Amino acid sequence: MQYKRILLKLSGEALMGEKQYGIDPKRLKEYAEEIGSVIEKGVEVAIVIGGGNIFRGLAGASSGMDRVQADHMGMLATVINGLALQSALEDEGIETRLQSAIKINEVAEPFIRRRAVRHLEKGRVVIFGGGTGNPYFTTDSAAVLRAIEIDANVILKGTRVDGIYTSDPEKNKDATKFDFISFEDVIKKGLKVMDTTAFTLSQENELPIIVFDMNKPGNLLKVVLGENIGTKVNL
């Protein structure tokens, strides 16, 4: 295996599948099967998932809602998605733990770093919900923070495109894809990989990021095996 311990970052929108809102059970099952194929190889998997398919704090704030209140609603949305993914994984026979940065003891463990690492060592998938537990921080920032805390080897950002391009490939057919790119070049070219806080934190801690198409079957396993899938951002 190229990586022993990974942090998989999924957007909330990814769970919508073909729907316009909410959670698509078919997409959940597909993701659970993909994650299961990696677990079978002995890779330790932690997951951070967004909540944009249910509620996005920034969007609420732009509509006049108090930003702190809106962000807390977004955090709760990530817990809902975490519960859904947990259920799908357990349907596949995969042992999981859901940890939340905000206290919801009836449905999730509180985030405790040592406990999370122990779960991973025992082969359990650990899903981190509730973002960082603080308003004004995105789930990208939560993903990088948790990856650093659990000493993950890499952040795998699963998206609907197959890597990082010179411009949006869904809008510009002439956009070209990078197989490898440095943190410095991402900044110079003004490419959008993660929000600035998350990206800078990853760069400072020398934590590589791989952006890949999570919706193509087998891609997650190929990335973990070290195949040239997606775009790798490194020093």
Let me know: does 231 contact 181? Beta carbons within 8 Å.
Answer: yes
Where are the domains positioned within the chain? 5-234
Token pair recorded at residue 45: 């998997």
Residue 210 pLDDT > 90: yes
Q: What secondary structure letter does DSSP report for 111?
A: P
Q: Which helix (H) or strand (E) holds 9?
A: strand 5-10
For the record, the structure tokens of 153 come out as 């080897």
Which among 119, 118, 101 is positioned nearest to 110, based on CA atoms? Answer: 101
The token duo for 49 is 């998932």
Average pLDDT, the chain: 95
Report pLDDT for 218.
96
pLDDT tens, residue by residue, 133-185: 999 999 999 999 999 999 999 999 999 889 999 988 888 889 999 999 999 99
Say how many C-beta atoms besides its own lie within 10 A of residue 8's C-beta.
27
Q: How buried is residue 110: exposed, middle or buried, by Cβ count under 10 Å (0-12/13-18/19+)? A: middle
> What is residue 62's predicted lDDT score, i.e. its pLDDT?
83
pLDDT computed for residue 46 by the predictor: 98
In Å, the largest CA–CA distance within the chain is: 50
Q: What pLDDT score does 41 carry? A: 95
CA dist., res. 32 & res. 217, Å (int): 11
Distance of CA 18 to the CA centre of its chain: 19
Is the pTM higher than 0.75? The answer reads yes
Can you tell me the mean pLDDT for 120-140? 97
Question: What is the CATH superfamily name and number for domain 5-234?
Answer: Acetylglutamate kinase-like (3.40.1160.10)
